[in-house]
Structure 1
Amino acid sequence: MQIQHQVHTAAQQPERAAQLREGDVYRATIKERKGNDEAVLSIRGREVVAKFEGGIPASDRATIQVTEPQGDVIRVKTLHADGQQPRTNEQGSTGRQQELNQTLRQLGVQQPTPELRQAASILMDKGIPLTKEAVQELQRFMNEGKPEERLQTVQAIANKRLEVTANHLRAVHEALHGRPLNQVMTDLAREMDPEFKPQPVEREGVERDANRSREVMPQSAREHIDTLMRQNGAFSSGTIEQVERTMRQPEQLHQLAREQLSGSLSTLSTSVQGNQAQLQQTLSLLEVVNHAEKTLQREPSLEKVLQQIQSQLSGHQELTEAIETDLNKVMESARDFQEKGRELKARQELSTMIQQIKEVAKTSEMQSLTVEANTYVQNEQFQTSVEMTSKSIAVTTVTEKLAQMTADFKSLQRDITRNLDLVNRQIEQFRSQAQHHSKPLLETTIKKLDNAILRSEMMLLADMRTERQLMQASSQLHEAKKLLGKGRHQEANRIVREVQQLVEQLNFKPSETKIMHYTAANERALREAQLPSQSFTSQLNETARGPVQEGSPRAMFEMVRGLGLNRDSEVAQQLASGRDQQQQDSSQRDLKTTLLQLARGEEEGSRVQQLASQALNNVTGQQLLSRSDQQGNLQSMFFQLPFLLEKKVENLQVFVNSRNEGQQVDWENCSLYFLMETPKMGEIGIVVSATERQLSVTLKNDKADFQAKMEPLVEMAVEKLGEIGYSINGIKYTHLSSETEKTEQETEKSRQQPVFTEKGFDFKI
């Protein structure tokens, strides 16, 4: 699947090579001479016609300063030109320093430091313009900290061809060399809520992973014992019995615990059911309705919901005959919807009925109270009704969305199968010449499919199987496109037919977990006050918990959106579409937007304001470092993603190198480096290199038992990667530091973050 590069910032405008300003200093190449004082110059990859003050320099490379940028022919003057005769290394170094000194003096710095000269040289060699303002900011920046780190920041700005401004320098430096984003955000959350504790993922997911790991470990033990028996011949019967008994113990203990727990729950359930009638009679109708309401919200099984609501409400002495008749009708209707697989609609019907009964209960109860108590109850009931109205609206919203998504999926299905059928017929008709006729429609189909996976709302609720099948279809169509380009039309046609059949058989199946998550998010959005200080902790917790479904690319994309890494491009799209500011603010619920509000709204210099600004700079720096280079053939990206690990927010650093294919990352040919700090295993690095969808993976850590602990997890990951079209070339394990025998201090020095070079990030450790 082709991943579109969507991370932008407001600074990412088209290159300004043609928008030269008076006083800007550039390194220019003379492409064509037109007389004694006029020439065609190449500046930042664009050609402009320039008139030289004092004549054109003899050499083809020169440092020039713009004196008059207006008009079709700009005016420039030469600050210095490359010499015609080759220099020795020493002469060349001295000469370059003199040239840089002269340039910097022209821009207001009379005594430049060696670090400033080096920074200016880096920028000019990349075609970045130097102005008086830029040099002043650069001088201030270079004097504030470690020169080596500061030069790495300047190199990153030059490689991304960013304008030299205080904001760019500060943001990029914070992302590369500042405190990890997870630490800053955790401190900010605790500053606003001293009791902030990240919430772990759902218990079901933890138990599922634990069960799977438990199954993997006994299986590995059995295989290991079988190997020993084959290698060493027969063991004594006593030894074999002891081994088998030992292997059975974990499973037996686990089974015993489950049986005991099941028995306890059964006893408790029987006890509750036995007393339920007496609960029923002593509680008021309003209390019974509240119980029924909680049952509807919390019980995942609709069948149990129907049973419990029936037993809780039916026959209550405060229910009128008419209301009880309506209740029975709704229960029958809900069961009909359940049989048709429309569970959300059934729950919506029940919710509406419960609200009606609740209103009746309120009226009845309020009539029997004194005036003072009645006032208190009214206030309390109002607060409760606001929350439940939010719940009702949220469920209604999800139901409507689900119906629309189902229709959208069927429409997508029809469009793709129709397109693939046409591609199939074109290939059969034109055979070896099919590439010219079929390629445009095939590319359109791939783009439509990829957009559905990453951009449409369908994948927000689709189950994991459907999402992976769509990814597999995209991967196969990319392969068919390549085969067409090689003239292998029969193989391409076979793949197109297979994908067509796959898409035709797809069925849009929403995931229950995703539906619950989506409903909760809508309810929270309706209930929560929109104050940044109140929403930040919940947003951080949501982002740190990561994708709801393991292995889901769409969930991962939503996590990146939640952090705000593509906020600016989405705001620009909203402005272009003509939406008003209020709509934009309500639709932006990402962390970057909240950080902007905190940085602007809190008292200047306060701890909250400082932390919000620090985190904001980090996020903006990531956006700048992930900027698409219009002039380069390579694309590099950098992310710091907070993730929850053992009830603590940790930091996952992601470095990406790829070919630049029209602002797209080439997913079939790219390199990724993941770097994370874990409480038990320490720092872990994972290098993934993809070449024609063949993956080479290297896992790095300094612990002696690292490989043994990782292998079961790697096996699961390999299986998932295979499902979406990748195959593994090889997996290697190595040390993170170059020499494990080094002292702790030396080892720490030997570890380095990937350095931002001209070709992207250097992953060497």
Structure 2
Amino acid sequence: MMRIRHDQRSNEIPTPAVSFQPESVQMAVMKEKLTDQEAVVAIGQQDVRVRFVDGVPSDRSFMVRLVKQEGGTWVAQAVPLSSIGRFVPASLDDGIDLWLSARGIRLTEKEKEAVRRFWETEGGSIKQKQETVAALTAKQLEVTETHLRLAHEALHGPPLGDLLAPLLTKTEEPEETDEAKGVPVREQTERWEGSRAYAAASELVLPPAETRTFVMTAVTEKMRQLVHDFRVWQRDMARQLEQFSHAVAQQATERATPLVESLIHSLDRMLLNGDWLLFTDMKTETKLLEAGAKLAEAKRGLAEGKMDEAAKTVREVKALLESLRFQPSEQKVMRFFLESDERQGMKPHEQLSRILKQASQAARDNALSARGVVESLRRLGFFHEQEAARALLSGERLPPAENVKAMLLSWVEEGTAPAQAERVLMNLTGQQLLNKFTADSHTQTMLYQWPLSLHGEMATVHVHVNARSGNGQLDWQNCRLYFLLDTNQGKVGISLQAIERQLSVTVETESEKLAAVLQSYASTVKDHLEQIGYRVQRLVFQPMDTEDEERAATDRIKTENETSQWEWTI
């Protein structure tokens, strides 16, 4: 067996002395103070004797501007880190090394070369390029030219909504006919089962009989499958809840803990991927979110040894889930029926237009729910690679391209992609890179650009997320969110900070008129947040200033300075 002995001395290669240039700015570490004016400092791997014009700095680490050399001593000036941008480095490489050193970013020579080429060729200000490099290294991604360009496009390129707008065809959705408007809406409390689910759709103006029969059959079968899936899931949850109750009754904490974690996982999976949930209303989703909040309470109760409280909470969850009935929304069934028909013989550019409209019109028909937002991001292609990999690993047949990214990639391969396709793909892929889950980090930072159709135009909501992480998941009970939207009445920024489900909300606007409009919804928003498990401690409205907007744009979420001349608080 070969043994490899590591000898520290064998790695001690003498480092040749570096020749410093006058007016260069270097990172220095204090080694020994000789007098009030002179000291020995470490610059790189060299010890340098320095005479400071303004006296020896008190900090251990600092920047120095080397003025001139007198014998074996350099005359220098200490430079605050906040002021290094005012000094011009001797070369681009020196400037990059200076900036990287000041922020503790360590790169290989190959990565530094990629940064240098990025610095020389990419558009944007120096500050924007610095933000791009910092964001990429924070995600522990390899620093390559490609990664830098993608991240830069996502951070500082045009908003995704602006890039997607030209891809929408000029064809507007057909207006609702008077006949369709006159169709009575059944009470949502009516029980829907399998073949009855398409009854509302059958009252619309339909295509030829053959196509109509085919589509209605498909809808009927789909509804039957959804009813079956819902009942199976409901029975499985009831069984697990019963097992948890038995474990708690026997004071078996070790057995109860994995059971409650499994329940939370099953509920989360249903909220994110359950097909039947796509056809229900927001009330059903709200109940599921409420159940998730109660299960989190039960888990915390177990950890604190409060078995009786945990058992009581789980009984409440069991009653809540048993009260659920699968009652598809008429509007959603109608839409599924019509979209199933529209897909027949649709041209590629029409398919892309349809997907874009679905992704950007998530607010219609009360679809602006948690699941509605996830489906909107899915249609854009944020989960494309993840879902394709899952299908391959499970041996499933790859589904047809039903997201923007997949369609544009196929067009690029065929050489038929529109001119702006490359920038859209760069934006989406750059966001995916910056949303990479860092496994060994206790916190995660993510950002999304969510295109939304407002007043007939494509707007972009910038969403910044910072949350604790554990077991590969974000902690929704301890997180920060910032939403930034540019409206026709000015920008709106919404900051939410949750600590153990105690929620502080700050709404920033550029106009008092817009603030007054938003204030009218404050009580409704507060009630909704409390329904899904948060306790709103503070809801504040205040003006937005330029500094706040810039901080939001660079993914630094504003959570302070929540007072103003027209503060309004619940």
Q: TM-score, normalised by structure 1?
A: 0.59
1:85-484 alignment to 2 at 5 Å? 93=63, 112-118=92-98, 120-121=100-101, 125-126=104-105, 128-131=107-110, 134-143=111-120, 144-145=122-123, 146-189=125-168, 193=169, 195=170, 300-301=183-184, 342=193, 344-345=195-196, 385=208, 389-430=210-251, 434-484=252-302
The equivalent of 1:524 in structure 2 is 342
CA distance in 2, matches of 1:659, 1:350: 45
Q: Give the count of matched residue pairs.
A: 495
Among 290, 305, 308, the residue aligned to 1:490: 308
Q: Is 1:641 aligned to 2:450, yes or no?
A: yes
Q: What's the secondary structure of 2:324's corresponding residue?
A: coil
Indicate if the aligned counterparts of 1:551 and 1:720 stay in contact, CA closer than 8 A: no
Q: Which amino acid aligns with 1:593?
A: A
The equivalent of 2:552 in structure 1 is 754
Could you report, residue by residue, the CA deviation over 1:184-218 in whole angstroms, capped at 9, with x for unpaired residues?
A: 111343xxx4x355x59x989xxxxxxxxxxxxxx
Indicate if the aligned counterparts of 2:293 and 2:532 stay in contact, CA closer than 8 A: yes
Could you report, residue by residue, the CA deviation over 1:325-361 in whole angstroms, capped at 9, with x for unpaired residues?
A: xxxxxxxxxxxxxx9855844867997xx99xxxxxx
Q: What's the secondary structure of 1:520's corresponding residue?
A: helix
Structure 1: runs of 5+ lacking an equivalent = 1-32, 39-51, 58-79, 97-109, 205-264, 266-294, 304-338, 356-383, 738-746
Q: Is 1:540 aligned to 2:356, yes or no?
A: yes
Name the Cα RMSD after superposition.
3.7
CA distance in 2, matches of 1:149, 1:487: 50
| 1:707 Cα deviation from its structure 2 partner | 3.1
The equivalent of 2:540 in structure 1 is 732
Q: Which amino acid aligns with 1:535?
A: Q
Q: Is 1:515 aligned to 2:323, yes or no?
A: no
Q: What's the secondary structure of 1:493's corresponding residue?
A: helix
Indicate if the aligned counterparts of 1:671 and 1:687 stay in contact, CA closer than 8 A: yes
User: Per the alignment, do residues 484 and 163 of structure 1 end up closer, same or farther by CA in structure 2, a change over 3 Å counting?
Assistant: same
CA distance in 2, matches of 1:490, 1:349: 47
The equivalent of 1:624 in structure 2 is 433
Q: What's the secondary structure of 1:628's corresponding residue?
A: coil
Q: Which amino acid aligns with 1:138?
A: V
Q: What's the secondary structure of 2:154's corresponding residue?
A: helix
CA distance in 2, matches of 1:453, 1:691: 23
CA distance in 1, matches of 2:474, 2:533: 16
CA distance in 2, matches of 1:181, 1:651: 7
Q: Which amino acid aligns with 1:510?
A: P
Structure with bigger gyration radius:
1
User: Per the alignment, do residues 728 and 594 of structure 1 end up closer, same or farther by CA in structure 2, a change over 3 Å counting?
Assistant: same
CA distance in 2, matches of 1:646, 1:349: 28
Could you report, residue by residue, the CA deviation over 1:35-67 in whole angstroms, capped at 9, with x for unpaired residues?
A: 3446xxxxxxxxxxxxx374899xxxxxxxxxx
Could you report, residue by residue, the CA deviation over 1:654-713 in whole angstroms, capped at 9, with x for unpaired residues?
A: 00000121321111110000000111x210101011111121110101212233211222
CA distance in 1, matches of 2:116, 2:273: 43
Could you report, residue by residue, the CA deviation over 1:568-593 in whole angstroms, capped at 9, with x for unpaired residues?
A: 1111112222345xx34x1x311111
The equivalent of 1:713 in structure 2 is 521
Q: What's the secondary structure of 2:250's corresponding residue?
A: helix
CA distance in 2, matches of 1:730, 1:706: 20
| 1:177 Cα deviation from its structure 2 partner | 0.6
1:5-154 alignment to 2 at 5 Å? 34-37=6-9, 52=11, 54=13, 93=63, 112-118=92-98, 120-121=100-101, 125-126=104-105, 128-131=107-110, 134-143=111-120, 144-145=122-123, 146-154=125-133
User: Per the alignment, do residues 455 and 603 of structure 1 end up closer, same or farther by CA in structure 2, a change over 3 Å counting?
Assistant: closer
| 1:519 Cα deviation from its structure 2 partner | 2.0
Q: Which amino acid aligns with 1:575?
A: L
Q: Is 1:594 aligned to 2:412, yes or no?
A: no
| 1:751 Cα deviation from its structure 2 partner | 3.5
Q: Which amino acid aligns with 1:624?
A: L
The equivalent of 1:672 in structure 2 is 481
The equivalent of 1:663 in structure 2 is 472
Could you report, residue by residue, the CA deviation over 1:415-449 in whole angstroms, capped at 9, with x for unpaired residues?
A: 1112111211221221xxx4322101111111112
Indicate if the aligned counterparts of 2:117 and 2:145 stay in contact, CA closer than 8 A: no
CA distance in 2, matches of 1:121, 1:524: 57
Q: TM-score, normalised by structure 2?
A: 0.77
User: Per the alignment, do residues 728 and 36 of structure 1 end up closer, same or farther by CA in structure 2, a change over 3 Å counting?
Assistant: closer
Q: Which amino acid aligns with 1:168?
A: H
CA distance in 2, matches of 1:481, 1:82: 52
| 1:141 Cα deviation from its structure 2 partner | 1.2
User: Per the alignment, do residues 83 and 477 of structure 1 end up closer, same or farther by CA in structure 2, a change over 3 Å counting?
Assistant: farther
CA distance in 2, matches of 1:536, 1:398: 23
Using the aligned pairs only, state the percent identity. 29
Indicate if the aligned counterparts of 1:754 and 1:761 stay in contact, CA closer than 8 A: yes
CA distance in 2, matches of 1:127, 1:203: 60
User: Per the alignment, do residues 649 and 414 of structure 1 end up closer, same or farther by CA in structure 2, a change over 3 Å counting?
Assistant: same
CA distance in 2, matches of 1:298, 1:593: 36
Could you report, residue by residue, the CA deviation over 1:435-478 in whole angstroms, capped at 9, with x for unpaired residues?
A: 32210111111111221121121111123222221221111011
CA distance in 2, matches of 1:489, 1:443: 15
User: Per the alignment, do residues 340 and 440 of structure 1 end up closer, same or farther by CA in structure 2, a change over 3 Å counting?
Assistant: closer
Q: Which amino acid aligns with 2:244?
A: V
Indicate if the aligned counterparts of 1:464 and 1:511 stay in contact, CA closer than 8 A: no
The equivalent of 2:87 in structure 1 is none
Could you report, residue by residue, the CA deviation over 1:369-408 in whole angstroms, capped at 9, with x for unpaired residues?
A: xxxxxxxxxxxxxxx75xx544433322222121111112
Q: What's the secondary structure of 2:450's corresponding residue?
A: strand
Indicate if the aligned counterparts of 1:128 and 1:161 stay in contact, CA closer than 8 A: no
Q: What's the secondary structure of 1:635's corresponding residue?
A: strand
The equivalent of 2:374 in structure 1 is 557
Q: Which amino acid aligns with 1:578?
A: G
CA distance in 1, matches of 2:65, 2:215: 70
| 1:183 Cα deviation from its structure 2 partner | 1.0
CA distance in 1, matches of 2:198, 2:362: 28
CA distance in 2, matches of 1:603, 1:135: 36
Could you report, residue by residue, the CA deviation over 1:228-248 in whole angstroms, capped at 9, with x for unpaired residues?
A: xxxxxxxxxxxxxxxxxxxxx
User: Per the alignment, do residues 390 and 696 of structure 1 end up closer, same or farther by CA in structure 2, a change over 3 Å counting?
Assistant: farther
Q: Which amino acid aligns with 2:405?
A: K
Structure 2: runs of 5+ lacking an equivalent = 17-42, 51-55, 67-89, 562-570
CA distance in 1, matches of 2:514, 2:164: 30
CA distance in 2, matches of 1:487, 1:56: 59
Q: Is 1:567 aligned to 2:384, yes or no?
A: yes
| 1:95 Cα deviation from its structure 2 partner | 10
Q: What's the secondary structure of 1:515's corresponding residue?
A: helix
CA distance in 2, matches of 1:763, 1:500: 37
CA distance in 1, matches of 2:385, 2:525: 33
